Amino acid sequence: MGIKITDRLTVVSGDHNLTNYDEKVGSFDWKETETAFSWHASGKVNAAYEAIDRHAESFRKNKAALFFDDGSRKEVYTFNDLKRFSNKAANVLKKHTTLEKGDRLFIFMPRSPELYFSLLGAIKMGVIVGPLFEAFMEGAVYDRLSDSEAKALVTTPDLLKRVPVEKLPHLEKIFVVGEQIEENDKIVDFTNQMKEASSTFDIEWVDREDGMLLHYTSGSTGSPKGVLHVHNAMIQHYQTAQWVLDLQEQDIFWCTADPGWVTGTAYGIFGPWLSGATNLIVGGRFSPENWYSAIERYGVTVWYSAPTAFRMLMGAGSSVLEQFDLSTLRHILSVGEPLNPEVVRWGMDELGHRIHDTWWMTETGGHIICNYPSMEIKPGSMGKPVPGIYASIVDDEGNEVPPYTMGNLAIRRGWPSMMREIWGNPERFNSYFLKEEWYVTGDSAYMDNEGYFWFQGRIDDVIMTAGERVGPFEVESKLLEHPDVIEAGVIGKPDPMRGEIIKAFIALREGVEESDQLAEDIRNFVKKGLAAHSAPREIEFKDKLPKTRSGKIMRRVLKAWELKLPTGDLSTMED
């Protein structure tokens, strides 16, 4: 039997946080979840309607949906407010562009209420939204807007300086959020236009397989790729918000992730709002005091963050923690990198809670392997697959291997929030699959005899630094643009705080002298061209880098040098 959202609180006891996991895992079908949505009866879909308007039309109309706090702005919005403001945003976007269903709009700004209004407004138009980290510099912005042929952009006056407008022929209009924006044929003053716009809007009803979000993410080769998610993903966001986040409608939920990352959309927007919970969005910079204080001031009950943040809080010590009352917390979760057993123990000792690890990726669109509230946690394990997901460990031919054998973590195709396309690159999309059946994640792992999965590492060269996924190729390409650099190889170097840091090995052009000054200059060059988190923290100069005969930098050898490990088979290396 499906769970009806409106009477969920009374229906779901015992079902809500998977106390019956063993029974569910064998019998669950995602069709059960679909009956929770209004479109199940009407056949009309729009995820923004399900997340916001549906509640605004119910007894939750005046319930707080969003607490926003970035230090300078502290604002509260009800579901009805969000409905009205997203309608206004949709009207503003529609009035000034030719945006239609399936067109791309990007949002490039720090977290602010306007980010959420415009994201929801664009989705109400059937437009595909690409959210970008505010840390991106010109090169990173250009790559994403040009690859997706974006027609419109929402940004701020500061960040607009990093948009190479003249190089983006498809970009019709830029909506600038700020005070007294000078308008011209490209620039629209978003804030001003919002004041006059109507707060009613005819939602574009779409097919559940129509595009909704385009998240660019890094692989080990090539430039960042656009991972397309569709409206149908909300089925999984909603169901896992219950099973894994354990969200109930009286919860104050805080997901610390930026919407530039898939966690910040799937669980920073859709999971909580589809569940009718109150979402806290905190902007500004990280500090242990700010974070603990946010939990205290807003009475956060469920908190979703990442290992790097937990490690920094752990490092700040109990003297900081003791100054705050965190007694409202009920459930804490982690995502993005391996959660060290040490951090789980810190959570139990200092916060009084087990931190629940969750494993998934941009491409999976939603939770895949998790530690549920009701489950016994094995510190260091990612947990078990969500009911409706079949995960396994396979060899390179796609054959399943027995427990305790390390191999490729793979998921059997066909879950609701699975990516539907790599933007403009069907070959790349197809390259993810083995035997048509397995989506191969690029992570290596093993399963134990009780069905728990244990993360071992990335199979490719993708770097995870402080939870950010950085493709070495993108950094290497940027390094090669520096006039003094002739060769560059980039690896992730293990780091106790950040998981990994980016280390670059660089060969300089003939006649150029190596120096600390030059290393700093090269670091800034990447910072300015891509983003601060993509810049190598360590640079080592070499006369020559190890390459294959076809000229490909052998990162595996660089890594072995760095870790003082054997270099392995060097038969493909040039002389």
Among 33, 236, 362, 417, indicate the residue that binds ligand WTA (CB under 6 A).
362
Q: Scan residues 462-481 and list those touching ligand WTA (CB under 6 A).
A: 464, 469
Question: To the nearest whole angstrom, how small is the minimum distance from the Cβ of residue 338 to ligand WTA?
Answer: 4
- Tell me the CA distances in angstroms from 153 to 42, 118, 125, 149, 172, one per residue in order: 32, 10, 15, 11, 9
Residue in 146, 140, 172, 143 with CA at minimum distance from that of residue 159 = 140
The reply on whether position 217 binds ligand WTA by CB under 6 A is yes
Residue nearest to ligand WTA (CB): 362
- Applying the rule CB under 6 A, the residues between 444 and 463 that interact with ligand WTA are 455, 458
- 500 forms part of the interface with ligand WTA (CB under 6 A): no
| Residue 159 or 306 with smaller CB distance to ligand WTA | 306
Minimal distance, residue 477 CB to ligand WTA, in Å: 20
C-beta of 367: minimal distance to ligand WTA in Å?
9
Pick from 132, 213, 228, 361: which binds ligand WTA (CB under 6 A)?
361
Integer Cα distance of 463 and 569 in angstroms: 23
Tokens 């999965």 found at? 453
Kindly give, in sequence order, each residue whose CB lies less than 8 Å from that of residue 363, ignoring residues fewer than 6 positions away. Answer: 217, 227, 418, 419, 432, 439, 441
Minimum distance from residue 412 beta carbon to ligand WTA (Å): 17
What is the nearest approach in angstroms of ligand WTA to the Cβ of residue 363? 7
Binding part of the chain for ligand WTA, among 323-331, 359-367, 419-427, 528-536 by CB under 6 A, reads 359-367
Positions in 80-119 near ligand WTA (CB under 6 A): none
Q: How far is the CB of 308 from ligand WTA (least distance, A)?
A: 12
Kindly tell me which of 178 and 380 has the beta carbon lying closer to ligand WTA. 380
Give whichever of 251 and 443 is closer to ligand WTA, judged by the CB atom.
443
Instruction: Tell me whether residue 65 or residue 409 sits nearer to ligand WTA (CB atom).
Output: 409
Residues 224/217, Cβ–Cβ less than 8 Å: yes
Query: Site mask, ligand WTA, residues 403-442, x = CB under 6 A?
Result: --------------------------------------xx
Which stretch in 78-86, 278-286, 355-363, 543-551 sits in contact with ligand WTA by CB under 6 A?
355-363
Contact 206, 46 (CB under 8 A): yes
Tokens of 476: 């290497």
Least distance to ligand WTA from the beta carbon of 46, Å? 24
Closest CA to 373 of 404, 341, 329: 329
Q: Which is nearer to ligand WTA, 136 or 292 (CB)?
A: 136
188 burial type by CB count under 10 A (0-12 exposed, 13-18 middle, 19+ buried)? buried
Cβ proximity to ligand WTA, 416 vs 546, nearer residue: 416
- Exactly one of 189, 443, 461, 476 binds ligand WTA (CB under 6 A); that residue is 443
Q: Taking the complex as a whole, how short is the minimal distance between the CB of residue 305 and ligand WTA, in angstroms? A: 12
Buried b (16+ CB within 10 A) or exposed e, 225-241: bbbbbbbbbbbbbbbbb
**Rounded Cα distance, 138 and 129, in Å:** 19
The single residue among 91, 156, 256, 263 that binds ligand WTA, judged by CB under 6 A, is 263
C-beta of 176 vs 227, nearer to ligand WTA: 227
Secondary structure of the chain: what % helix, strand, coil (to 5)?
Answer: 35, 25, 45
Q: Which residues are paired to 553 by β-bridges?
A: 547
Q: In whole angstroms, how close is the CB of 361 to ligand WTA at the nearest point?
A: 4
Backbone torsion region of residue 102, taken as left when φ is above 0, otherwise alpha when ψ lies between -120 and 50, otherwise beta:
left
Min CB(192)–ligand WTA separation in Å: 36
Task: Decide: is 337 part of the binding site for ligand WTA (CB under 6 A).
Answer: yes
In eight-state DSSP terms, residue 532 is G
- Count of chain residues binding ligand WTA (CB under 6 A): 22
- List binders of ligand WTA among 297-336 (CB under 6 A): 335-336
Q: Which two tokens stand for residue 254?
A: 């805080």
Please state, in angstroms and rounded to a whole number, the distance separating the CA atoms of residues 369 and 335: 11
Distance in angstroms (rounded) separating the CA atoms of residues 395 and 412: 14
Structure tokens at 32: 């059960």
DSSP 8-state class, residue 567? -
| Binds ligand WTA (CB under 6 A): choice among 168, 262, 377, 526 | 262
Using CA atoms, how far apart are residues 266 and 571, in angstroms rounded to an integer? 45
Q: Is 156 or 392 the residue whose CB approaches ligand WTA more closely?
A: 392
Among residues 132, 133, 131, 125, the alpha carbon closest in space to that of 103 is found at 125
Instruction: Give whichever of 218 and 279 is closer to ligand WTA, judged by the CB atom.
Output: 218
Q: What count of Cα atoms within 13 Å lies in the side-chain half-sphere of residue 59? A: 4
Which residues, including other chains, have CB under 8 Å from residue 17's CB and lie 6 or more apart?
242, 243, 246, 372, 373, 374
Binding-site member from 147, 251, 258, 357 for ligand WTA (CB under 6 A):
357
Q: Where do contacts with ligand WTA occur on this chain (CB under 6 A)? A: 217, 262-263, 335-339, 357-362, 382, 441-443, 455, 458, 464, 469
